[in-house]
Structure 1
Amino acid sequence: MASEAARGIPHYYLYGDQGADVELDFLHIEPIRDRSGPNDWRIRPHAHPDHMQALLVKEGGGTIRLEERILPISVPGILVVPAGIVHQIDFDPGTDGFVVTAALGCLKAAAASDPRLMGAAERPAVYPLEGTGVSIPAVFDTFEWLHREFIWSAPGRRTAIMAQYMRLLVVMLRLSVTHDDPGIAAPDRDYDLLVRYRALLETHFRSERSLAFYAGDLAVTQARLNTACKARAGKTASDLLYERIVIEAKRYLVYTESSVAQVAHLTGFDDPAYFNRFFTQRVGVSPGAFRKQALHREA
């Protein structure tokens, strides 16, 4: 599954879901059987450019292909599929467990207190749980509790979900240090460039809008940067930059009481009117209308 082939690989938020990803800045969890069963237990080659996945396989089994390597699925075991990694899964019929799909923004928030958590989430892996010293009942409880909180609407739901997701990242970190394999997949240069570009965006997206700046810092041409982003994320470098700005603006609108003008300033816009046009063009509603809709959904 080299870069040339990856350009023709579908990009999804959830497998088979053609919806836009921009709105999805949190996480999703569902039983493996819910999506794999109706697809004859085969998840065909695809990638999640803006989301990483962690799977708990409790029973059953099968194989997973991560880029160029095909590996048996350990049972019970944890599969880690970082954002942008092309993968294919052939489950044995009746396989059970959970799939957690987390947006990169959610992942970064959960891993903020310990950089090693992010490192564990960026390492493609198939981890057996037997013989690792990790408590298997505790791992099962983490996924099951995360699923309960996801489908309920109890007070503190988002906080509880984040707490369980952090617990899952700690499990992945501890499993990663018990395995000597430095990495399952061997991503190509497009993937490496996309990862470095995303990291650079996190530092500069509020102040730098020029692709020339990012390409220069990455020591590539703008055309090369665009090629990598299109190959691995299915979007241009500018698309990824603008999406990152929109996601940050949405967070301020939903989770703070900042005025729209203040949100404009916080996301790097000197002119609130220009921010309004920018946001409305990409989201379909004005910042004020988006805030009202979000608050109505939360009520």
Structure 2
Amino acid sequence: MNKPAPVPIERPVSQLRLVAIPRLAAGGRWRVEAMRSLSEPCLLWFTKGQGRITISGVTRGYTAHNAIFIPAGVMHGFEAGPQVFGTAVFFGRDPKVTLPKAPLHLRIREVHAQQEVNVLLDSILRELESDTPANDRAAEAYVGLLGVWLERQAKKAEPESARPDATRRLVARYTALLERNFRTGMGVADFAAALGVTPTHLTRCCNIACGRPAIALLQDRRIFEARKLLTETKLPVARIAEQLGFNSPAYFTRAFQHLTGKSPTAFRRLP
């Protein structure tokens, strides 16, 4: 029988902020590549380099001048190698701007549109770092224009494909269900049953959509959360294991070490 989901630990999230993408990866690849979700919307604007990004269980390539919007609560992870540059915009939990409801992956080919978003991001950053009167309202005004830019680019973007096929729709449903329930101790068989498919079919669809089996997405999401709790809290290892639905601290330690190469205690001691 599955354990009831514990109440997740809520941490304060800063309001609007801009972060250079290389800085996001400075703490280790797990901070950007492992499956996770945010409690706030995020925009990734890549200006150099290329890689792959997985959103809702579907993997696509990205290159320079790609704008990727990820709503709050959507599971994702992306590669950010040493040659990748750009800016991540975190809008805060209660953004005062109209933003898309669904993920967007926009390939911005018009030079004017590329320059426009660069100017908007520079203006937002300048106001955030300023101590001049009304700088906060000025930053909000530029963010509003950023929302308009996103809406306009989304409307004229070339669709990458027709409506998602049955495989990708199933994987999107799986990742959404996983995001809500990864702390409960549910396994792939439990998720497959909840979705009305077999574990084999679910795994086959995940492999098609993102090149990874269903169990890998589940393990990645749980271990990312474990690393975050080890890094950002002082919770005992046993309590973290319980929070994430592991049957025992020993099983959690084995799973964590298998995927990271370090025990939870050793990982927590890293600088």
TM-score by length of structure 1 reads: 0.53
1:126-165, Cα deviation, whole Å (9 max, x unpaired): 456969xx7762234458999xxxxxxxxxxxxxxxxx9x
Q: Any conservation in 2 of the 1:31–1:98 contact (CA below 8 Å)? A: yes
| 1:199 is aligned to 2:176 | yes
Measure how far apart 1:52 and its partner are: 8.3
Measure how far apart 1:190 and its partner are: 2.6
Q: Spell out the pairing of 1:139-154 with structure 2 (5 A cutoff).
A: 139-141=121-123
Measure how far apart 1:223 and its partner are: 1.7
Query: 32, 38, 60: which is aligned to 1:24?
Result: 32
Choose between structure 1 and 2 for higher RCO, CA contacts under 8 A separated by at least 6 residues: 2
Distance 1:229 1:250, change over 3 A: same
Give the Cα–Cα distance (whole angstroms) in 2 for the partners of residues 172 and 52 of structure 1.
24
Give the Cα–Cα distance (whole angstroms) in 2 for the partners of residues 126 and 30 of structure 1.
10
Distance 1:143 1:213, change over 3 A: farther
Q: Any conservation in 1 of the 2:106–2:157 contact (CA below 8 Å)? A: no
Partner of 2:242: 265
Percent of aligned positions that are identical: 24
Give the Cα–Cα distance (whole angstroms) in 2 for the partners of residues 167 and 283 of structure 1.
43
Partner of 1:80: 68
1:15-58, Cα deviation, whole Å (9 max, x unpaired): xxxxx9645359998752xx4xxxxxxx6xx742368898774x
Distance 1:137 1:145, change over 3 A: same
| 1:284 is aligned to 2:237 | no
The amino acid of 1:191's aligned partner reads R
| 1:222 is aligned to 2:203 | no
Q: Any conservation in 2 of the 1:55–1:99 contact (CA below 8 Å)? A: no
Q: Any conservation in 1 of the 2:100–2:151 contact (CA below 8 Å)? A: no
| 1:185 is aligned to 2:185 | no
Give the Cα–Cα distance (whole angstroms) in 2 for the partners of residues 124 and 209 of structure 1.
31
The amino acid of 1:119's aligned partner reads K
The amino acid of 1:139's aligned partner reads L
Give the Cα–Cα distance (whole angstroms) in 2 for the partners of residues 232 and 191 of structure 1.
6
The amino acid of 1:185's aligned partner reads E
Give the Cα–Cα distance (whole angstroms) in 1 for the partners of residues 105 and 257 of structure 2.
37
Give the Cα–Cα distance (whole angstroms) in 2 for the partners of residues 275 and 172 of structure 1.
43
Measure how far apart 1:257 and its partner are: 0.9
Q: Any conservation in 1 of the 2:124–2:143 contact (CA below 8 Å)? A: no
Partner of 1:209: 186
Distance 1:29 1:118, change over 3 A: closer
Give the Cα–Cα distance (whole angstroms) in 2 for the partners of residues 52 and 253 of structure 1.
30
Aligned to 2:53, the other structure's residue is in SS state coil
Distance 1:223 1:279, change over 3 A: same
Give the Cα–Cα distance (whole angstroms) in 2 for the partners of residues 262 and 168 of structure 1.
43
Measure how far apart 1:171 and its partner are: 6.3
| 1:123 is aligned to 2:98 | no
Aligned to 2:68, the other structure's residue is in SS state strand
Give the Cα–Cα distance (whole angstroms) in 2 for the partners of residues 214 and 240 of structure 1.
12
Aligned to 1:185, the other structure's residue is in SS state coil
Gaps of 5+ in 1: 1-13, 15-19, 36-42, 58-77, 85-96, 147-163
Give the Cα–Cα distance (whole angstroms) in 2 for the partners of residues 169 and 202 of structure 1.
28
Distance 1:275 1:202, change over 3 A: same
Query: 161, 172, 175: which is aligned to 2:149?
Result: 175
Gaps of 5+ in 2: 1-21, 23-27, 35-41, 77-83, 129-138
The amino acid of 1:24's aligned partner reads V
Give the Cα–Cα distance (whole angstroms) in 2 for the partners of residues 241 and 47 of structure 1.
19
Distance 1:228 1:22, change over 3 A: farther
Query: 45, 49, 54: which is aligned to 1:49?
Result: 54
Give the Cα–Cα distance (whole angstroms) in 1 for the partners of residues 201 and 127 of structure 2.
44
1:238-281, Cα deviation, whole Å (9 max, x unpaired): 11101111001001000011111111111112421221122112
